[in-house]
Amino acid sequence: MQARGLAAASLPVFLTNGSEKTGLLADEINGEKLGFMINESLSPYNKLGGDAAVRELVDRFYDYMDTLPEAQGIRRLHPADLTGSRDKLYKFLSGWLGGPSLYMQEYGHPRLRARHLPFKIAEAERDAWMLCMEKAMEDMGVDDPLMKSHLIQSLWKTADHMRNV
């Protein structure tokens, strides 16, 4: 068990990103908070295990969405074939977690809220999305509980920001 002070000191500052990994403080792009960044080696991306870990997280997330009864409402909003969804969320989360900004490089600014406007997202959809993500994160065996709770909290805020109903 890590001492609280040590754990806190090793935590990245959760702010925003999607752009460059330089600043201590976040920048907001069009008012949309996307990520964070301070020190690359301490980024959640690296602490999670880098590229392979982000892919695994996303695969587990969509596997849960595919199978959990509670997630069938949001599953129906997605294409029958989840390959493209997996790829986009993986690329997005890579940058969001402080790794390479793969989504931005390929598609430009994600404008996440705008992209979700065609879908009805209320509390139930947000909670179903988070259920899949929390279970996926749990499976990853993150050994820094503080980082895990920060990640979940940040994802929850992002998911809540998608609500449009």
Which range in 4-12, 53-61, 137-145, 153-161 contacts ligand HEM by CB under 6 A? 153-161
In whole angstroms, how far apart are CA 108 and each of 42, 50, 101?
A: 25, 22, 10
Among 98, 76, 78, smallest CA distance to 88 is for 78
If one counts every other C-beta atom within 10 angstroms of the C-beta of residue 12, the result is 21
Q: Which contiguous run of DSSP H or E holds residue 132?
A: helix 123-139
- What is the torsion angle, in degrees rounded to the nearest 10, for the CA atoms of residue 54, residue 63, residue 160 and residue 93? 20
Contacting ligand HEM within 59-78 (CB under 6 A)? 74, 77-78
Contacting ligand HEM within 102-131 (CB under 6 A)? 107, 110, 112, 115-116, 119, 121, 125-126, 129
Under rule CB under 6 A, residue 10 binds ligand HEM? no
Contacting ligand HEM within 34-53 (CB under 6 A)? none
Under rule CB under 6 A, residue 162 binds ligand HEM? yes
* Interaction site with ligand HEM (CB under 6 A): 74, 77-78, 84-85, 88-89, 92, 107, 110, 112, 115-116, 119, 121, 125-126, 129, 155, 158-159, 162
